Structure 1
Amino acid sequence: MAAQNRARVLLIDDDQDMRWAMRNVLAGAGFDVEEAQGGQPGLELAGQQSPDAVVLDICMPGMGGEEVLRRLLDRDRHLPVVIATAYASIAGAVGAMREGAFEYITKPFRNELFVQSVKRAVSRRQTLCAAPASNVRAAIFSMMGQSPAIQKLVDEIETVVCSEYSVVIQGESGSGKEIVARCLHKYSRRAARPLVIVDCGAVAESLLSSEFFGHEKGAFTGAGDRHRGWFEAAANGGTIFLDEVGNLVESGQKALLRTLEDRTIRRIGSTEPINLDLRVLAATNEDLKARARAGVFREDLYYRLTEYVITVPPLRSRREDIPFLARRFFADARESLGRPLAEIGPDALDMLCAYSWPGNARELRNVMRRIALVSSDILSAARVSGLIGRTEAPPPQIEDLNDSPSLRDRVRCQVRTVERDAILAALSHAKGNKAEAARLLGIDYKTYRTKLKLLERPAEGDGP
């Protein structure tokens, strides 16, 4: 197992020789170990590193173990703290147990008993961490439905949510990959730290190092102030979500691989390393394995990222969820418009369920938002048939314009139609890859994405 996925134990003890002995024993048992030589440094390190368990000396100069314990548990009441004490201070250790310590061991201790104690503490942490995972099911069901395909998806999320594994979330555009990523962060032990979302396809190659790693003031022309990059923003216990990682340029792939291997970064213009304590999530609408085999995506980066893979099913493979999602999107849109709720007729639901939804839940949401704007009372199949399968309401025909439409009006109408068809055709040909669609049309990615957003007008997030 990779080092960053092992349980992390923090030793807080003023005795350097004792820390050295405990570190060697725990490292030999497969733990990652951090050390602090006193109470205040221990509190600071605990705040930065989010340990799975703490081994705490009860008798230390300055801030004593009892005070350190109280402050640790004030921050995280589920953090298991093992008190390490000499025989003379067992009474203090017993008092610490009453204050919330997990258990205590006496110095000198037998190595195997020490390891067992720490293993019990870590197991307790993992059990407590897994408890909120049951909330994942309710959260996903409330956003995506309860079809068998979604239940399988939830099983996959619950399996990995409390681990430190890097996860690749694969699925078509609009299927809900960002929802999965947000759940993986929200119900992990990193939930209190930032979730930093990076759109890999929108980063210009010339700015990639600065955006990823940051820069110092004056590091290059135009660098007026120090800038924290995305990795630094997530560095202290957060999660970084690399959306559409398959669109990352070759130099970005190389930099990302080096970062994941070293677990450190440096701002441009600085030689000071910044240690990374973060979890990596990535999303793709492409077959990364096939791209790696074809040499388009680095194979070593592929294996570094794919410690666990979650596949989000397309909407057409879980049609049982369409009525739920349609009603949810329709109700949300009506409420945002300040209009009373309206019913979706059975014929309209049948029509919605029969459609293949190539844009997945995002397309369904957009259709229901447009329908909510123009419908009243019961939503009919006739109303649905007029909008389904389109990303915008049809442009006005010549006869719908003023009695004497100007040439400018006619040309503008036709240009909108041609541009819309070209944008959507390119996206279909590129199988949902927006960067590839932009290349097919000979325009830059940012321009293409802006035009697509004007057509779709999606709400925030990748999915329902």
Structure 2
Amino acid sequence: MQEFINQLDGMAVLDKEGYYTYVSPGWERYTGFHASEVLGRKVWEIIPESHATEVFQTGKAVTRGLVSFNGIPAFTTYFPRFDQNGELCGIMLYIVIQGKESVAQFQTRIIALSSQIEFYRKELSMERGAKYNLDNIIGESKAILDLKHKILQASRSSSTVLIEGETGSGKELIAHAIHTLSPRCSANFVRVNCSAIPNELMESEFFGYAAGAFTGASRKGKIGRFELADSGTLFLDEINLLPMTMQPKFLRVLQEHEIDPVGSLKSQFVDVRVIAASNIELEQLVEKGSFRSDLYYRLNVIRISAPPLRTRKEDIPLLVQNFISRLNKQLGMMIGDIGSEALNFLMAYDWPGNVRELQNAVESAMNQTDHTILTIKDFSQLTERIRMRERKQAVTHYKLIPAKQAFEKSLIQDALMACEGNRKKAAELLGISRTMLYNKMAQYEIGDS
């Protein structure tokens, strides 16, 4: 940016009231005013002919000729500046001198510099940023459209975000998309799974440590994940597994924007946006006492729920087509489509593993098929998994209440029949009290007959 500014003949920045907040050295040379003379003063006091008024009124950029200083003609372009809420918050203006030829040369230079900036921004994003964007969230259901709207809203803010949803429902995709759309998109997107770091290493991993902080520590010290994400986004997956001992330290970062590296005597400021994800509702953990309520409230500023696949089955055809297309490239295959019978089978399943399970099923089928169109036979692993789950559920169902109740009802009916309806004798035969017999008869709706 400094290189860009230095190549301008002159540049200045105005706030929403028209006061100068910055002028470049080129602007000082052209106008003859020193920064100390103009900063904090309105543009019309220095240059009465300024066209800043037009920009404040219309909110659109304008390019106009400017009265010359010291006989040097110039053109000035005024760019409106908008805040995160879309409100006009000021103007950036740059000056091009030496007439129209310089304007054309300057425009060419701007295009070249803009291309370079965009190239390096993309390179940075690929190297250390998020991998996915809003387009990677596949679906046209109302649940997905609502989700994308919430992502767009969250991307305009720097507040913490809590993403809750079942395993495999796409919580990480949501975090990537928020970062990609945010003003922090060219800064680091640091992903950390809280369950993957041993408790004894967690403090040094997140906050880093000073040189020689402990035996075996690097002589140069170590940068922690919070510092690595400075000016960017830190994504904390499975935040529900964060140990109680670490929760106060995380709370301090969110409140004070400061970290304390292990072994350091100084706190360090960090500008980090935190996005946390949990496959368990944190509110439940707060009620159980395994998660601090104050940390929960700090995380739960913007809350987004990832919808489970069973609530948006109309998205399954689009998801399947997307997986086939992507996996064809990854696996070197030429699968063209999925048969209607197989697709209906997938639509009828409830997908407890959500989108991740669906992708696994499609990839497995693609590796089993000998044809270019997937059939229901290609999903044999999924059908077998469903049968196993159903058998387990049937066994569990049989072992529990229904079998016991059916047996009790039959036994009571047989005892009453043997005692010709005499309840006292039937209770004695069954070895229970008459009161219990009456209760059981009422429960199972057994009459006198």
TM-score with structure 1 setting the length = 0.58
Please state how far the C-alpha of 1:194 moved relative to its aligned partner: 0.8
Structure 1 stretches of 5 or more lacking a match? Answer: 1-38, 44-50, 68-81, 104-117, 125-137, 395-420, 422-464
2:240 alignment partner, SS class? helix
Please state how far the C-alpha of 1:163 moved relative to its aligned partner: 1.1
1:298 and 2:292 aligned: yes
Match for residue 413 of structure 1? Answer: none
Match for residue 121 of structure 1? Answer: 89
- Residue range with higher mean Cα deviation, 138-147 or 282-291: 138-147
- Residue range with higher mean Cα deviation, 253-262 or 87-96: 87-96
Residue 364 of structure 2 contacts residue 381 of structure 2 at CA under 8 Å; is this kept in 1? no
Select the residue among 76, 80, 85 that pairs with 1:98: 76
Residue 80 of structure 2 contacts residue 91 of structure 2 at CA under 8 Å; is this kept in 1? no
Identity over the aligned pairs, expressed in percent?
36
Match for residue 70 of structure 1? Answer: none
1:367 and 2:395 aligned: no
Q: Deviations over 1:13-60 (max 9, x none)?
A: xxxxxxxxxxxxxxxxxxxxxxxxxx98xx9xxxxxxx9979744568
Match for residue 281 of structure 1? Answer: 275
Match for residue 228 of structure 2? Answer: 233
Select the residue among 23, 46, 51 that pairs with 1:89: 46
Match for residue 164 of structure 2? Answer: 170
Residue 207 of structure 2 contacts residue 224 of structure 2 at CA under 8 Å; is this kept in 1? yes
Select the residue among 313, 323, 330 that pairs with 2:317: 323
The verdict on how the C-alpha distance between 1:87 and 1:56 changes in structure 2, with shifts beyond 3 A counting, is: closer
1:197 alignment partner, SS class? strand
Separation of aligned partners in 2, 1:250 and 1:59: 50
1:100-249 equivalences under 5 Å are 100=78, 102=80, 120-121=88-89, 140=134, 142-224=136-218, 225-235=220-230, 237-249=231-243
Structure 2 stretches of 5 or more lacking a match? Answer: 6-12, 30-38, 52-65, 67-73, 93-131, 393-449
Q: Deviations over 1:393-441 (max 9, x none)?
A: x9xxxxxxxxxxxxxxxxxxxxxxxxxx9xxxxxxxxxxxxxxxxxxxx
Match for residue 400 of structure 1? Answer: none
Please state how far the C-alpha of 1:290 moved relative to its aligned partner: 1.4
Greater RCO (CA < 8 Å, at least 6 residues apart)? 1
1:7-18 equivalences under 5 Å are none
Match for residue 374 of structure 2? Answer: 379
Please state how far the C-alpha of 1:387 moved relative to its aligned partner: 3.1
Separation of aligned partners in 1, 2:276 and 2:15: 28
Aligned length: 302
Please state how far the C-alpha of 1:139 moved relative to its aligned partner: 5.2
1:264 and 2:242 aligned: no
1:333 alignment partner, SS class? helix
1:272 alignment partner, SS class? coil
Residue 351 of structure 1 contacts residue 384 of structure 1 at CA under 8 Å; is this kept in 2? no
Residue 246 of structure 1 contacts residue 288 of structure 1 at CA under 8 Å; is this kept in 2? yes
TM-score with structure 2 setting the length = 0.60
Please state how far the C-alpha of 1:256 moved relative to its aligned partner: 0.3
Please state how far the C-alpha of 1:330 moved relative to its aligned partner: 2.2
Residue 334 of structure 1 contacts residue 373 of structure 1 at CA under 8 Å; is this kept in 2? no
Q: Deviations over 1:322-378 (max 9, x none)?
A: 111112212322222222133210000011111111111111111111111121222
Residue 14 of structure 2 contacts residue 22 of structure 2 at CA under 8 Å; is this kept in 1? no
Q: CA RMSD in A?
A: 3.5
The verdict on how the C-alpha distance between 1:160 and 1:346 changes in structure 2, with shifts beyond 3 A counting, is: same
